[in-house]
Chains A and B, each alone.
Chain A
Protein backbone atom coordinates (compact mmCIF):
# COMPACT_ATOMS: atom_id res chain seq x y z
CA UNK A 1 0.00 0.00 0.00
CA UNK A 2 1.46 3.30 -1.01
CA UNK A 3 1.82 6.07 1.50
CA UNK A 4 0.96 9.60 0.35
CA UNK A 5 2.50 12.68 1.87
CA UNK A 6 3.33 16.30 1.19
CA UNK A 7 0.83 18.34 -0.80
CA UNK A 8 -2.10 17.60 1.44
CA UNK A 9 -0.04 18.19 4.55
CA UNK A 10 0.57 21.81 3.64
CA UNK A 11 -2.41 23.10 1.69
CA UNK A 12 -1.22 26.69 1.40
CA UNK A 13 2.40 26.41 0.45
CA UNK A 14 4.18 29.64 -0.37
CA UNK A 15 2.69 33.03 -0.79
CA UNK A 16 5.57 35.05 -2.05
CA UNK A 17 4.80 37.91 -4.38
CA UNK A 18 1.36 38.48 -5.77
CA UNK A 19 -1.39 36.02 -6.68
CA UNK A 20 -0.42 32.55 -7.91
CA UNK A 21 -0.58 32.98 -11.68
CA UNK A 22 -0.50 36.75 -11.96
CA UNK A 23 1.62 37.98 -14.86
CA UNK A 24 4.43 40.28 -13.83
CA UNK A 25 4.75 43.27 -16.12
CA UNK A 26 8.14 43.77 -17.76
CA UNK A 27 8.26 47.14 -16.02
CA UNK A 28 8.15 45.50 -12.59
CA UNK A 29 10.08 42.37 -13.52
CA UNK A 30 13.54 43.63 -12.57
CA UNK A 31 12.45 45.29 -9.36
CA UNK A 32 10.58 42.17 -8.32
CA UNK A 33 13.57 39.90 -8.98
CA UNK A 34 14.28 39.51 -5.24
CA UNK A 35 10.75 38.11 -4.91
CA UNK A 36 11.64 35.13 -7.12
CA UNK A 37 10.40 31.90 -5.65
CA UNK A 38 13.60 30.64 -4.03
CA UNK A 39 12.09 27.21 -3.56
CA UNK A 40 12.18 26.43 -7.29
CA UNK A 41 14.88 28.90 -8.30
CA UNK A 42 17.59 26.43 -7.24
CA UNK A 43 18.69 24.48 -10.35
CA UNK A 44 18.02 20.91 -9.20
CA UNK A 45 14.64 21.77 -7.73
CA UNK A 46 13.74 23.60 -10.94
CA UNK A 47 14.72 20.43 -12.83
CA UNK A 48 12.51 18.25 -10.62
CA UNK A 49 9.51 20.55 -11.10
CA UNK A 50 10.10 20.83 -14.89
CA UNK A 51 10.40 17.06 -15.34
CA UNK A 52 7.25 16.42 -13.31
CA UNK A 53 5.38 19.06 -15.32
CA UNK A 54 5.51 16.78 -18.39
CA UNK A 55 5.03 13.45 -16.58
CA UNK A 56 2.16 12.40 -14.34
CA UNK A 57 4.53 10.48 -12.14
CA UNK A 58 8.28 9.87 -11.99
CA UNK A 59 10.16 7.54 -9.70
CA UNK A 60 13.16 8.53 -7.64
CA UNK A 61 15.39 6.59 -10.04
CA UNK A 62 13.81 8.25 -13.11
CA UNK A 63 14.58 11.68 -11.67
CA UNK A 64 18.07 10.65 -10.57
CA UNK A 65 18.97 9.44 -14.09
CA UNK A 66 17.31 12.39 -15.79
CA UNK A 67 18.95 15.05 -13.65
CA UNK A 68 22.26 13.18 -13.30
CA UNK A 69 22.52 13.70 -9.59
CA UNK A 70 23.28 11.68 -6.47
CA UNK A 71 20.78 9.95 -4.18
CA UNK A 72 21.54 12.29 -1.30
CA UNK A 73 21.29 15.47 -3.34
CA UNK A 74 18.01 14.44 -4.93
CA UNK A 75 16.53 13.38 -1.59
CA UNK A 76 17.35 16.69 0.06
CA UNK A 77 15.92 18.84 -2.73
CA UNK A 78 12.85 16.67 -3.29
CA UNK A 79 12.14 16.85 0.43
CA UNK A 80 12.24 20.66 0.32
CA UNK A 81 9.76 20.72 -2.55
CA UNK A 82 7.61 18.21 -0.72
CA UNK A 83 7.64 20.31 2.45
CA UNK A 84 6.68 23.35 0.39
CA UNK A 85 3.68 21.46 -0.99
CA UNK A 86 4.98 21.66 -4.56
CA UNK A 87 5.29 17.93 -5.11
CA UNK A 88 3.64 14.86 -3.60
CA UNK A 89 5.63 11.80 -2.70
CA UNK A 90 4.33 8.26 -2.33
CA UNK A 91 6.36 5.35 -1.07
CA UNK A 92 5.55 1.77 -1.87
CA UNK A 93 7.05 -1.44 -3.13
CA UNK A 94 7.49 -2.93 -6.60
CA UNK A 95 7.72 -6.56 -5.55
CA UNK A 96 10.21 -6.39 -2.71
CA UNK A 97 12.03 -3.33 -3.96
CA UNK A 98 11.15 0.01 -2.35
CA UNK A 99 9.77 2.48 -4.87
CA UNK A 100 9.38 6.21 -4.35
CA UNK A 101 7.17 8.13 -6.75
CA UNK A 102 6.75 11.86 -7.16
CA UNK A 103 3.91 13.85 -8.66
CA UNK A 104 3.57 17.57 -9.24
CA UNK A 105 1.05 19.19 -6.90
CA UNK A 106 -1.26 21.98 -8.09
CA UNK A 107 0.76 24.49 -6.10
CA UNK A 108 3.93 23.31 -7.84
CA UNK A 109 2.40 23.73 -11.28
CA UNK A 110 1.25 27.24 -10.42
CA UNK A 111 4.68 28.05 -9.01
CA UNK A 112 6.32 26.90 -12.26
CA UNK A 113 3.91 29.02 -14.33
CA UNK A 114 4.61 32.01 -12.11
CA UNK A 115 8.34 31.40 -12.39
CA UNK A 116 8.18 31.11 -16.19
CA UNK A 117 6.18 34.35 -16.35
CA UNK A 118 8.76 36.03 -14.21
CA UNK A 119 11.65 34.86 -16.40
CA UNK A 120 9.87 35.92 -19.58
CA UNK A 121 9.07 39.31 -18.09
CA UNK A 122 12.71 39.79 -17.14
CA UNK A 123 13.78 39.05 -20.71
CA UNK A 124 11.12 41.37 -22.14
CA UNK A 125 12.17 44.11 -19.75
CA UNK A 126 15.75 43.86 -20.97
CA UNK A 127 14.67 44.08 -24.62
CA UNK A 128 13.01 47.47 -24.07
Chain B
Protein backbone atom coordinates (compact mmCIF):
# COMPACT_ATOMS: atom_id res chain seq x y z
CA UNK B 1 0.00 0.00 0.00
CA UNK B 2 1.31 3.43 -0.85
CA UNK B 3 0.47 5.88 1.83
CA UNK B 4 -0.93 9.11 0.58
CA UNK B 5 -0.49 12.22 2.63
CA UNK B 6 0.79 11.94 6.18
CA UNK B 7 2.25 8.62 7.23
CA UNK B 8 0.83 7.01 10.32
CA UNK B 9 3.30 7.20 13.20
CA UNK B 10 3.63 6.58 16.89
CA UNK B 11 2.86 10.26 17.39
CA UNK B 12 -0.70 9.82 16.02
CA UNK B 13 -1.41 7.45 18.90
CA UNK B 14 -0.02 9.87 21.41
CA UNK B 15 -2.00 12.73 19.88
CA UNK B 16 -5.19 10.67 19.71
CA UNK B 17 -5.47 11.36 15.98
CA UNK B 18 -5.22 7.77 14.84
CA UNK B 19 -8.75 7.49 13.50
CA UNK B 20 -8.56 10.64 11.44
CA UNK B 21 -5.17 9.74 10.03
CA UNK B 22 -6.27 6.24 9.18
CA UNK B 23 -9.41 7.44 7.49
CA UNK B 24 -8.04 10.35 5.54
CA UNK B 25 -4.53 9.23 4.77
CA UNK B 26 -4.44 5.49 4.77
CA UNK B 27 -7.61 4.19 3.19
CA UNK B 28 -9.09 7.23 1.56
CA UNK B 29 -12.43 8.91 2.14
CA UNK B 30 -14.58 6.31 0.41
CA UNK B 31 -14.46 3.96 3.37
CA UNK B 32 -15.37 6.45 6.05
CA UNK B 33 -18.50 5.30 7.86
CA UNK B 34 -19.08 2.71 5.14
CA UNK B 35 -20.65 0.28 7.55
CA UNK B 36 -23.81 0.36 9.58
CA UNK B 37 -23.22 0.44 13.31
CA UNK B 38 -25.91 -0.85 15.59
CA UNK B 39 -27.63 1.63 17.84
CA UNK B 40 -26.93 1.21 21.54
CA UNK B 41 -24.19 -0.76 23.23
CA UNK B 42 -22.84 -3.94 21.67
CA UNK B 43 -23.26 -7.07 23.77
CA UNK B 44 -20.30 -9.39 24.25
CA UNK B 45 -20.63 -12.52 26.36
CA UNK B 46 -17.92 -14.52 28.05
CA UNK B 47 -18.46 -18.00 29.46
CA UNK B 48 -15.66 -19.77 31.31
CA UNK B 49 -15.33 -23.11 33.04
CA UNK B 50 -12.22 -24.14 34.92
CA UNK B 51 -12.86 -27.75 33.87
CA UNK B 52 -12.96 -26.97 30.14
CA UNK B 53 -9.41 -28.35 29.80
CA UNK B 54 -7.45 -30.73 31.98
CA UNK B 55 -3.92 -30.24 33.27
CA UNK B 56 -2.48 -31.32 29.94
CA UNK B 57 -4.75 -28.84 28.14
CA UNK B 58 -6.97 -31.51 26.62
CA UNK B 59 -10.50 -30.24 26.02
CA UNK B 60 -13.36 -31.86 27.91
CA UNK B 61 -16.13 -32.17 25.26
CA UNK B 62 -18.97 -32.38 27.76
CA UNK B 63 -17.91 -29.23 29.57
CA UNK B 64 -17.37 -27.47 26.26
CA UNK B 65 -20.87 -28.40 25.07
CA UNK B 66 -22.32 -27.03 28.29
CA UNK B 67 -20.39 -23.78 27.82
CA UNK B 68 -21.57 -23.47 24.24
CA UNK B 69 -25.20 -24.05 25.20
CA UNK B 70 -24.90 -21.50 27.99
CA UNK B 71 -23.38 -18.76 25.85
CA UNK B 72 -25.92 -19.28 23.06
CA UNK B 73 -28.88 -19.14 25.42
CA UNK B 74 -27.57 -16.14 27.35
CA UNK B 75 -26.74 -14.30 24.19
CA UNK B 76 -30.10 -14.54 22.50
CA UNK B 77 -32.46 -15.03 25.44
CA UNK B 78 -34.03 -17.99 23.66
CA UNK B 79 -35.18 -21.05 25.62
CA UNK B 80 -33.46 -23.76 23.60
CA UNK B 81 -30.32 -23.92 21.49
CA UNK B 82 -32.52 -24.90 18.55
CA UNK B 83 -34.40 -21.65 18.93
CA UNK B 84 -31.09 -19.82 19.19
CA UNK B 85 -29.75 -21.19 15.92
CA UNK B 86 -33.05 -20.68 14.13
CA UNK B 87 -33.00 -17.06 15.22
CA UNK B 88 -29.54 -16.70 13.69
CA UNK B 89 -29.79 -18.83 10.55
CA UNK B 90 -32.57 -20.13 8.34
CA UNK B 91 -33.08 -23.87 7.79
CA UNK B 92 -32.24 -23.48 4.11
CA UNK B 93 -29.08 -21.47 4.72
CA UNK B 94 -25.73 -22.89 3.71
CA UNK B 95 -23.80 -22.24 6.89
CA UNK B 96 -20.03 -21.73 6.74
CA UNK B 97 -17.92 -22.32 9.81
CA UNK B 98 -14.82 -20.14 9.64
CA UNK B 99 -12.06 -21.16 11.99
CA UNK B 100 -8.39 -20.36 12.50
CA UNK B 101 -6.77 -23.30 10.76
CA UNK B 102 -3.19 -23.41 11.98
CA UNK B 103 -0.66 -21.80 14.31
CA UNK B 104 -2.67 -21.77 17.51
CA UNK B 105 -5.74 -22.99 15.62
CA UNK B 106 -9.31 -23.06 16.79
CA UNK B 107 -9.73 -26.27 18.76
CA UNK B 108 -11.42 -28.88 16.54
CA UNK B 109 -13.62 -29.65 19.55
CA UNK B 110 -15.05 -26.12 19.33
CA UNK B 111 -15.77 -26.43 15.62
CA UNK B 112 -17.26 -29.87 16.23
CA UNK B 113 -19.45 -28.68 19.06
CA UNK B 114 -20.87 -25.85 16.96
CA UNK B 115 -21.50 -28.17 14.03
CA UNK B 116 -23.26 -30.74 16.24
CA UNK B 117 -25.37 -28.03 17.80
CA UNK B 118 -26.43 -26.76 14.38
CA UNK B 119 -27.34 -30.27 13.26
CA UNK B 120 -29.36 -30.79 16.44
CA UNK B 121 -31.19 -27.59 15.59
CA UNK B 122 -32.24 -29.05 12.28
CA UNK B 123 -29.67 -27.64 9.90
CA UNK B 124 -28.82 -30.48 7.49
CA UNK B 125 -25.23 -31.65 7.81
CA UNK B 126 -24.70 -31.24 4.09
CA UNK B 127 -25.62 -27.56 4.45
CA UNK B 128 -22.82 -26.93 6.95
CA UNK B 129 -19.37 -26.45 5.48
CA UNK B 130 -15.84 -25.54 6.42
CA UNK B 131 -15.68 -22.03 5.02
CA UNK B 132 -12.06 -21.11 5.73
CA UNK B 133 -10.15 -20.51 2.52
CA UNK B 134 -10.34 -18.44 -0.63
CA UNK B 135 -13.20 -16.27 -1.89
CA UNK B 136 -15.11 -19.27 -3.26
CA UNK B 137 -15.87 -20.39 0.28
CA UNK B 138 -17.99 -17.42 1.42
CA UNK B 139 -19.55 -17.20 -2.03
CA UNK B 140 -20.92 -20.71 -1.49
CA UNK B 141 -22.45 -19.75 1.88
CA UNK B 142 -25.49 -17.73 2.81
CA UNK B 143 -24.53 -17.50 6.49
CA UNK B 144 -21.17 -17.48 8.28
CA UNK B 145 -20.24 -18.37 11.85
CA UNK B 146 -16.79 -16.95 12.67
CA UNK B 147 -14.80 -19.18 15.04
CA UNK B 148 -11.41 -17.52 15.49
CA UNK B 149 -8.88 -18.48 18.15
CA UNK B 150 -7.74 -15.78 20.55
CA UNK B 151 -4.15 -14.76 19.88
CA UNK B 152 -1.77 -11.87 19.66
CA UNK B 153 -0.01 -11.44 16.33
CA UNK B 154 3.39 -9.87 15.83
CA UNK B 155 2.44 -8.14 12.56
CA UNK B 156 -1.04 -6.91 13.42
CA UNK B 157 -1.04 -6.72 17.21
CA UNK B 158 -4.07 -8.99 17.33
CA UNK B 159 -4.80 -11.94 15.06
CA UNK B 160 -8.30 -12.88 16.12
CA UNK B 161 -11.62 -11.56 14.81
CA UNK B 162 -10.68 -8.94 12.22
CA UNK B 163 -8.12 -11.29 10.70
CA UNK B 164 -10.36 -14.34 10.34
CA UNK B 165 -11.54 -13.48 6.80
CA UNK B 166 -8.11 -12.47 5.44
CA UNK B 167 -8.06 -15.34 2.91
CA UNK B 168 -11.42 -14.25 1.49
CA UNK B 169 -9.56 -11.40 -0.18
CA UNK B 170 -7.77 -13.88 -2.42
CA UNK B 171 -4.58 -12.00 -1.63
CA UNK B 172 -3.76 -12.37 2.07
CA UNK B 173 -0.36 -10.77 1.59
CA UNK B 174 -2.15 -7.52 0.67
CA UNK B 175 -3.03 -7.26 4.35
CA UNK B 176 0.39 -8.03 5.78
CA UNK B 177 2.77 -5.44 7.15
CA UNK B 178 1.50 -1.87 7.27
CA UNK B 179 -1.62 -2.89 5.36
CA UNK B 180 -3.08 -4.73 8.35
CA UNK B 181 -5.11 -1.62 9.18
CA UNK B 182 -7.16 -2.44 6.08
CA UNK B 183 -8.39 -5.81 7.36
CA UNK B 184 -11.85 -4.28 7.77
CA UNK B 185 -12.07 -4.43 3.99
CA UNK B 186 -12.32 -8.21 4.15
CA UNK B 187 -15.51 -7.92 6.19
CA UNK B 188 -16.90 -5.48 3.65
CA UNK B 189 -16.37 -7.61 0.54
CA UNK B 190 -19.69 -7.89 -1.35
CA UNK B 191 -19.83 -11.67 -0.91
CA UNK B 192 -19.04 -11.44 2.83
CA UNK B 193 -20.88 -8.36 4.03
CA UNK B 194 -23.96 -9.10 6.08
CA UNK B 195 -23.44 -12.87 6.21
CA UNK B 196 -21.85 -13.17 9.65
CA UNK B 197 -24.49 -14.36 12.10
CA UNK B 198 -22.28 -14.95 15.11
CA UNK B 199 -18.70 -14.51 16.23
CA UNK B 200 -17.65 -17.19 18.72
CA UNK B 201 -14.04 -16.88 19.86
CA UNK B 202 -12.16 -19.93 21.09
CA UNK B 203 -10.51 -18.49 24.20
CA UNK B 204 -9.75 -21.85 25.79
CA UNK B 205 -5.97 -21.66 25.40
CA UNK B 206 -4.99 -18.24 24.03
CA UNK B 207 -1.59 -16.93 22.95
CA UNK B 208 -0.60 -13.53 24.34
CA UNK B 209 2.72 -12.84 22.64
CA UNK B 210 4.85 -13.76 19.65
CA UNK B 211 1.91 -15.07 17.65
CA UNK B 212 1.12 -16.59 15.31
CA UNK B 213 4.12 -18.91 15.75
CA UNK B 214 3.51 -20.67 19.03
CA UNK B 215 5.75 -20.22 22.03
CA UNK B 216 4.16 -22.26 24.85
CA UNK B 217 5.45 -19.82 27.46
CA UNK B 218 2.92 -17.33 26.14
CA UNK B 219 -0.13 -19.59 26.22
CA UNK B 220 -2.42 -19.91 29.18
CA UNK B 221 -5.61 -21.69 30.14
CA UNK B 222 -8.30 -19.02 30.04
CA UNK B 223 -10.92 -21.73 29.50
CA UNK B 224 -13.38 -19.39 27.84
CA UNK B 225 -15.68 -18.78 24.93
CA UNK B 226 -16.49 -15.22 23.83
CA UNK B 227 -19.51 -14.41 21.70
CA UNK B 228 -21.12 -11.46 19.99
CA UNK B 229 -22.43 -10.18 16.70
CA UNK B 230 -20.40 -6.95 16.61
CA UNK B 231 -16.98 -8.09 15.34
CA UNK B 232 -15.22 -4.95 16.48
CA UNK B 233 -16.67 -5.14 19.98
CA UNK B 234 -15.72 -8.80 20.28
CA UNK B 235 -12.17 -8.06 19.10
CA UNK B 236 -11.99 -5.13 21.53
CA UNK B 237 -12.87 -7.45 24.41
CA UNK B 238 -10.30 -9.96 23.14
CA UNK B 239 -7.72 -7.17 23.04
CA UNK B 240 -8.55 -6.21 26.61
CA UNK B 241 -8.00 -9.79 27.80
CA UNK B 242 -4.67 -10.10 25.99
CA UNK B 243 -3.54 -6.68 27.24
CA UNK B 244 -4.43 -7.51 30.83
CA UNK B 245 -2.69 -10.88 30.59
CA UNK B 246 0.48 -9.22 29.34
CA UNK B 247 0.32 -6.67 32.14
CA UNK B 248 -0.20 -9.41 34.74
CA UNK B 249 2.71 -11.41 33.33
CA UNK B 250 5.27 -8.62 33.52
CA UNK B 251 3.77 -6.80 36.48
CA UNK B 252 3.73 -3.59 34.45
CA UNK B 253 2.06 -2.34 31.26
CA UNK B 254 3.26 -4.36 28.26
CA UNK B 255 1.37 -2.92 25.29
CA UNK B 256 1.05 -4.90 22.10
CA UNK B 257 3.51 -3.79 19.47
CA UNK B 258 2.55 -2.94 16.83
CA UNK B 259 -0.74 -1.61 18.17
CA UNK B 260 -3.75 -3.41 16.66
CA UNK B 261 -4.64 -0.75 14.12
CA UNK B 262 -7.11 -3.07 12.43
CA UNK B 263 -9.53 -2.88 15.35
CA UNK B 264 -9.73 0.89 15.57
CA UNK B 265 -9.84 1.16 11.79
CA UNK B 266 -12.69 -1.37 11.68
CA UNK B 267 -14.65 1.05 13.83
CA UNK B 268 -13.60 4.49 12.65
CA UNK B 269 -12.98 3.83 8.98
CA UNK B 270 -15.13 0.85 8.02
CA UNK B 271 -17.95 1.34 10.52
CA UNK B 272 -18.13 -2.38 11.30
CA UNK B 273 -18.84 -1.92 15.00
CA UNK B 274 -17.54 -0.22 18.08
CA UNK B 275 -14.08 -0.24 19.63
CA UNK B 276 -15.21 2.16 22.37
CA UNK B 277 -15.20 0.24 25.64
CA UNK B 278 -17.97 2.46 26.98
CA UNK B 279 -20.23 1.30 24.16
CA UNK B 280 -19.68 -2.37 24.87
CA UNK B 281 -21.74 -4.30 27.40
CA UNK B 282 -19.75 -7.27 28.65
CA UNK B 283 -21.57 -10.02 30.51
CA UNK B 284 -19.66 -12.94 31.92
CA UNK B 285 -20.65 -16.26 33.44
CA UNK B 286 -18.91 -19.14 35.12
CA UNK B 287 -15.33 -19.18 36.38
CA UNK B 288 -14.44 -15.68 37.61
CA UNK B 289 -10.75 -16.04 38.52
CA UNK B 290 -8.38 -13.95 36.39
CA UNK B 291 -11.15 -12.77 34.12
CA UNK B 292 -8.74 -10.09 32.83
CA UNK B 293 -11.26 -7.42 31.92
CA UNK B 294 -9.42 -4.64 33.75
A and B pair up:
no
Q: Residues of A at under 8 Å CB distance from B?
A: none
